[in-house]
Structure 1
Amino acid sequence: MSAVTTRPSLALAALAVGAFAIGTGEFVIMGLLPDVAGGLGVDIPGAGRLISAYALGVVVGAPLLIAAANRFPRKAVLIALMGGYAAFNLASALVPGYLPVLVTRFLAGLPHGAFFGIGAVVAGGLVARTRRARAIAVMVSGLTLANVAGVPVGTLIGQQVGWRWVFAVVGLIAAVAALAVAVCVPDVRSAAPARLANEFRALVRRPVWMTLLVGTVGGAALFATYSYITPMLTGIAGFTPTEVTLLLAVFGIGMTVGNVVGARLADIATMPTIYGGLAATAVVSLLFVPALQNQATAVVALFTLAVTTFAIVPPVQLRVINAAGDAPHLASGANQAAFNVANAIGAALGGAAIAAGHGLASPNVVAAGLAVLGLGVALVAGRSAAVDARREPARVG
């Protein structure tokens, strides 16, 4: 594949449609847990295991599928991954009983990380090097727009006509995305396949795994709050459940803004963008606690938190890809797995704070602590990179 294509905008749009399908399929179930639980005859925690099964699928699927697809053309792999995502979501809509749905949710998670991992590498290769973060952000915008439109609309559909229809719609969108990739993404069969050994060696490079750690800890800050945003907004700020649905769209708009701003800044200064995003997240998370006492300030804090947390997504993805050098696929996919590990860690720690009797707002304090911890890891990573850069000329000389 050439470094710059003649129609990168169409290719990036096709990848964004795939990200939209994945974002909707991943997050819409969170707003439909009571419906899913009732339809499958299980309690809310039982329905919540469907979310965990999907996340486990992402963690398992990202490295395994990228490794398995290592010698195949990237375009063909992207089509196959999105086709699989379509099929498994349709299966979730059709299979009877709790256990079969649990299995199909795990299977639906398998292509998620691999599609994002390989897609981010392809997106970065569609444009000049100085615009890579922005190209990746266009793809990721599909995920953020899913939280603006896909999740609220999907939740409404699920509430009105049944949750199984939502997975059917997600499957249809994924099928359209597979077709769009087939038509719009350049053929990359001429690209030399990466050696799998090089991919694994890149994954254990210090700049790579330290950046993955930054993304995991920083991402956990987001999920510590987001996992419990509905009870916070209803139980403290006094919003109705219907109003919360609209506020989740506000959060999605903030994610979109953060994604765009973070990408533009990352193309200029990657590590400072990560530092600033994590520091801002720590401050906003702490301010969220008093902000919940007033509906207007709660909305402002909600939007701002979405901006700061998603501002670190493009620079972290870009740094992982750059640090991996000529073997970026496995590292890029591992970043998606790390994001889902962050989901589990953040939700668990935020829930533990509530269970310990610290109140519904306490996950925000946990989020602030995680953001500070992530900033500390990022500073160490940045310092290590600077030391390595100073040593490199000495080796060459």
Structure 2
Amino acid sequence: MPFAVYVLGVGVFCLNTTEIMVAGLIPGISGELGVSIAAVGFLVSVYAFGMVVGGPLLTVGLMRVPPKRALVWLLLVFVAGQTLGALAYQYWLLVVARVLTALAASAFFGVSAAVCARLVGPERRGRAMAVVLGGITVAQVVGLPAATFIEQHFGWRASFWVVDVLAVVCIAAVVLKVPAFAGSRDLDLRAEIRAFRNLRLWGAYTTNALVIGAVVAGFSYLSPIYTDATGFNPGTVPVLFAVYGVATVVGNVVVGRFADDYLRPLLLGGLVALTVVLAGFALVVSYQLPTIVATVLLGLIGLPLNPAMAARVMSVSNEGPLVNTVNGSAINVGVVIGPWLGGLGISAGVGLSAPLWIGAGMAFLGILSLIPDFARSPAEVR
């Protein structure tokens, strides 16, 4: 495997850690900047909104830019945004920083996938993509717990600085190890735009937004849930996040292994299970042992549905970059809506279980969104 593939994987890890680490920094940011828990949770939605808007536009805009140069410039923008976040002493500056880093991240994922495909032959493309996108999973297992630990011992700004330094190292690695390619000319805009006339594709996008929105609605507020609702010691929170991350890795391996052969049962069964787990989590949120069990189950069932969701998008449409970039945007629509609704529930006085109930409701809507497409015969769906 070319070393450049691992460089791209570290870059994806870096960018995804920034996206999710706010969930572990809520107490520090809320206390220092004097804003509510819901306002800090909104920073997750802001990041996702930046990816929703930036992804498709930048995918098209970077078509003629040599990939290596694009990667370097995107990482430079990311470093600028991350530095602004680390220095922000007002909430609105942190919002601007999140938008900048999100715009860079949205395009970095797409360009990295294109570079990865060029670095290896077709027979190793799947393995190479697993390494690159594995950065997302490692961010759950290592990035989030590490950022939470750093926040508790050195302050939330230190978490921003550590990711910032890692991004600078990634820039140097890209310059030294990623080969230069000519600008990409593989994107047939007319053919890709025609794919969006397919209503089944939009149905898949809707399901994906609801699934991820359901997971992130609860996940974004896990830190205060653990400490304020369940009564865990703050020092236990990084451990719980690590447990969640390990469960996500296991679930991702299992779903990825069976997604091709059992797409429909995995999606339907997974959504039913996700609905039950989130509702159950809300009911037992005051008890420590059931909360740990619910955390493990949420990790096993929630985000690991991603491979099956992506397979469904490609099965009803095509494997083109724009179709899959818009899928990422659809997923991030869920990331925008989930924490926002969860924050509204908390602000309305429902309590810290509100995001979990809202997540269960979104998962149930996800089940309903499967009905029109899954009512077709298996041959038609696949």
TM range (shorter): 0.7 to 0.9
Q: Could you give the per-residue CA deviations for residues 50-72 of structure 1, whole angstroms, max 9, x where no partner exists? A: 44432322222112111101233
- How far has the Cα of 1:38 moved from its partner? 4.9
Deviations 1:121-163 (A, max 9, x none): 665785758984x755543331222222222222332343343
Q: Distance in 2 between matches of 1:184 and 1:248?
A: 33
The correspondence for 1:213, drawn from 206, 211, 228, is 206
- CA distance in 1: counterparts of 2:36 and 2:361, whole angstroms: 32
In structure 2, the CA distance between the partners of 1:17 and 1:96, relative to structure 1 (3 Å rule), is same
1:294 to 1:332, Cα distance in 2 relative to 1, 3 A: same
Tell me, yes or no, if the aligned pair for 2:22 and 2:44 is still in contact at 8 Å: yes
Could you tell me which runs of 5 or more consecutive residues in structure 1 were left unpaired when the two chains were aligned.
1-6, 391-397
The one of 241, 246, 255 equivalent to 2:234 is: 241
Give 3-state SS (helix, strand or coil) of 2:65's partner: coil
Checking the alignment, whether the CA contact within 8 Å between 1:136 and 1:314 is kept in structure 2 is no
Matches within 5 A, 1:296-375: 296-321=289-314, 323-325=316-318, 328-354=320-346, 358-375=350-367
CA pair 87-236 structure 1, distance change in 2 beyond 3 A: closer
Give the superposition deviation at 1:43: 5.4
SS in 2 for 1:299: helix
Equivalent-residue separation in structure 1 for 2:44 and 2:381 (angstroms): 42
Aligned-partner residue type, residue 372 of structure 1: F
1:295 equivalent in alignment to 2:295: no
1:24 is aligned, of 6, 17, 21, to 17
Confirm or deny: 8 A CA contact 2:215 2:302 kept in the other structure: yes
The answer (yes or no) to whether the contact 2:33–2:90 under 8 Å persists in 1 is yes
| Separation in 1, partners of 2:116, 2:355 | 35
* Partner Cα separation in structure 1 for residue 91 and residue 339 of structure 2: 23
Change (3 A) 1:167 1:43: same
Correspondence 1:81-92 to 2 at 5 A: 81-92=74-85
> Percent same amino acid at aligned positions?
36
Label 1:291 to 1:41 Cα distance change in 2 as closer, same or farther (>3 A).
closer
**For structure 2, which runs of at least 5 residues remain unmatched after alignment?**
none
Tell me by how many angstroms 1:236 deviates: 4.0
Structure 1 residues 234 and 97: CA distance shift in structure 2, 3 A: closer
Partner of 2:148: 155
The reply on whether 1:58 has 2:40 as its aligned counterpart is no
Q: Give the whole-Å Cα distance in 1 for the aligned partners of 2:76 and 2:314.
A: 25
Question: What is the distance in 1 between the residues matched to 2:363 and 2:296?
Answer: 17
Amino acid at match of 1:349: L
Q: Show the counterpart of 1:394.
A: none
Provide the C-alpha distance between the structure 2 equivalents of 1:210 and 1:116, rounded to a whole number of angstroms.
23
Find the aligned partners of 1:38 and 1:269 in 2 and give their Cα distance.
47
Moved more, 61-70 or 21-30: 21-30
Instruction: Give the direction of change, closer, same or farther, for the CA distance of 1:118–1:295 in structure 2 (3 Å limit).
Output: same
Q: What pairs with 1:180-195 in structure 2 (closer than 5 Å)?
A: 180-181=173-174, 189=182, 192-195=185-188
Opposite residue 328 of structure 2, the aligned amino acid is: Q
Structure 2 counterpart SS, 1:223: helix
Q: 1:232 aligns with which of 225, 240, 245?
A: 225
Residue aligning to 1:3: none
Aligned-pair CA distance for 1:384: 5.2
Once the two structures are TM-superposed, the CA of residue 75 in structure 1 deviates from its matched residue by 4.8
Could you tell me whether the CA contact under 8 Å between 2:39 and 2:343 is conserved in 1?
no
Specify the alignment match of 1:393 in structure 2: none
Distance 2:220 2:379 in 1: 38
1:54–1:348: structure 2 CA closer, same or farther, 3 Å change rule? closer
Contact 2:23 2:219 in 1 (8 A): no
1:337-376 alpha-carbon deviations (Å, 9 max, x no partner) = 2222212322233344455555533443332332232123
Q: TM-score with structure 2 length normalisation?
A: 0.84
Q: Does 1:14 align with 2:7?
A: yes
- Separation in 1, partners of 2:69, 2:374: 36
Indicate the larger mover: 49-58 or 123-132.
Answer: 123-132
State the Cα distance separating 1:292 from its structure 2 match. Answer: 3.4
Bigger Cα displacement from structure 2, 217-226 vs 287-296: 287-296
Residues 187-209 of structure 1, C-alpha deviations (whole Å, 9 max, x = no match): 65386431333333334433432
* CA contact 2:51–2:103 (8 Å) conserved in 1: yes
- Looking at structure 2, the residues matched to 235 and 68 of structure 1 have their Cα atoms a distance apart, in angstroms, of 45
Corresponding residue for 1:107? Answer: 100
Q: Is the 8 A contact 1:158 1:165 kept in 2?
A: yes
2:231 counterpart letter in structure 1: G
Summarize the Cα distance change of 1:69–1:168 in structure 2 as closer, same or farther, 3 Å threshold. same
2:63–2:185 Cα contact (<8 Å) kept: no
